[in-house]
Amino acid sequence: MEATTRARVPHKLTDKGQATRARILEHAAELIYTKGVHATNNEQLRRAAGVSGSQLNHYFPTKESLVLAVIAWQADRVLAFHRGERFASFGDLDAFRAWADFYVGYERAFQEGCSLGSLASEIIKTDLDVHDELASAFDQWRDIFRDGLQHMQRLGRISTDADPTQLANLLLSAFQGGSLLAQVARDITPLKDALQAAIDYVQTFATSPEVDVLQVRQPPTV
């Protein structure tokens, strides 16, 4: 596939067509993650996804169209998970703790790293014109945190001194950096420490004394 055109917007697909396209994307994401973009070729992808060359070219006529679709597919999965009911729109500190606990408790987190971050690290090194799509995916992820923090601010749960965008960048950076270090070390501790430190910092802006991290951490005076 030649990386020369933008991804096509697919026509309305049948249920079977949607399933085939999703299967191709799932295997393409895995191959790109394990082998890299340039080392992933049509033959490998056809074998992995169990499709013909004509099927592959029908859905993704160029490598760039495939990579763009993989980014969108992976981003949709990550964003949908973070927008789900599990974290209640990140409207309080407990939601952020639950988010951290989920990833720290995920038994393969230190092996797999961040699915979107790992994909980005492979794609960003290529000359494919997909940087805007990658940036947009991470912007949307950051904005989920920012919107939650702004909501907390409107409810008076965190101080107006807090900068929601800055804190959102901190949380996302802690997750990405912690995931990479955990993957390298094959130990969840770097991710656990990074997320805890980031959430502790957010907690310093809490307006309720009973959740003030500084009070919690300081030993009682005698």
Q: How does pLDDT run across 20-46, given as a tens digit for each residue?
A: 999 999 899 888 878 878 888 889 999
| Structure confidence by residue, pLDDT tens digits, 66-117 | 989 989 998 999 999 999 999 989 999 999 999 999 999 876 766 677 888 8
CB 123 within 8 A of CB 40: no
User: What angle separates helix 15-35 from helix 42-49, to the nearest 10 degrees?
Assistant: 130
Q: pTM (2 decimals)?
A: 0.81
CB 73 within 8 A of CB 27: no
Confidence of residue 10 (pLDDT cuts 50, 70, 90): low
CB 71 within 8 A of CB 79: no
